[in-house]
Amino acid sequence: MDRLTSMAVFVKAADLGSFAKAAAALRLSPQMVAKHVLFLEDRLGTTLLNRTTRRQSLTDIGRAYYDRCKLVLAEAESAEALARDLRVAPRGTLRIGAGVTFGAYGLAPFVTRFLNRYPDVEIDLVLNDRFSDPLDDGLDLMIRIGEIVESSLIVQPLAPYRLIACASPAYMAARGIPAIPADLSGHECLGFASWSRSFTCEWQFTKDGRSEIVNVSGRLRGNDWKALLHAALAGQGITLGPEIALQEELAVGRLIRVLPDYGGPAKPMHLLYPAGRRPTATIRAFIDAVIDEFGEVRAGIKQPPVESGYHGG
């Protein structure tokens, strides 16, 4: 028998003073009520209820056990109520992972608004660019940029992570304004550290459905895009950076978009979370908010989540 159920039956029998009344209240037979009480007595090796044909009463041990049973049952009910509430109203802690640049410039402002909307939610934001499985890092969800390969995660496609080329007004005034992608070969281009040791790289641009690749080079490269942004602001060269991180600099005129008639590279971006378990209300609210903020539906393309895998950045 289930011990918690037997405790509930025992408490009801003690409260009502007879097995028959407890049976009626619980919609059980008197014989089943007796079995539950006997199960507990056999388990404990002692008598909990003194029973005669006319009355029943708690033994001293039964009284102490009765008091503890009420506490246990109350805690169990409280735990179930909390679980029900968590499925209805977002609350509790979420551990969210993302890449450093997108996390700082795109996800962090979004998370702030999400927390303002749900005051009972806490978020642990984990930003890094290493390749990993969210389950290994104890994450509830993660947003990653890059291709997805097969695994057991749920993958929700988001809008592409778009890159654009920008430079400071001072640099453009001194070095001229590129008119076509090929013009970049004569400019200082700030490169990410994944470039080769020769400080050269290929940048891809698209216009009217046609792609054009140009070899660019420069005297400065780095493994942190924020460092390259500061260099671009200082007039050191042209940077190819995330559109989401450049919006403010463009809006106030500290940077000017280079080749505005061309689309820059775009990388796939996805929301990933473990499969096989039903999301809580908190996780569901976060997923819905992320899709609303960063989803393909904003571009008129709605894609359903799929069970796939992660091996991206």
pLDDT at residue 135, as a whole number = 65
E strand or H helix at 172: helix 169-175
pLDDT at residue 86, as a whole number = 59
pLDDT at residue 191, as a whole number = 82
pLDDT, tens digit, 9 for 90 and up, residues 236-290: 999 999 998 899 999 999 999 999 999 998 889 999 988 766 778 888 899 999 9
Q: Which residues of the chain are modeled with pLDDT < 50? A: 195-196, 298-313
E strand or H helix at 214: strand 210-217
Average pLDDT, the chain: 85
pLDDT at residue 193, as a whole number = 65
Please choose, from the candidates 203, 163, 207, 208, the residue with its C-alpha nearest in 3D space to the C-alpha of residue 183.
203
pLDDT at residue 310, as a whole number = 36
pTM over 0.85: no
For residue 182, the Cα-to-chain-centroid distance in whole angstroms is 41
pLDDT at residue 87, as a whole number = 65
CB 61 within 8 A of CB 48: yes
pLDDT at residue 91, as a whole number = 86
Concatenated DSSP letters of 219-287? S-EES-HHHHHHHHHTTS-EEEEEHHHHHHHHHHTSSEEESTTSB--EEEEEEEEESSSPPPHHHHHHH
pLDDT at residue 296, as a whole number = 75
The C-alpha atoms of residue 138 and residue 94 are separated, in whole angstroms, by: 10
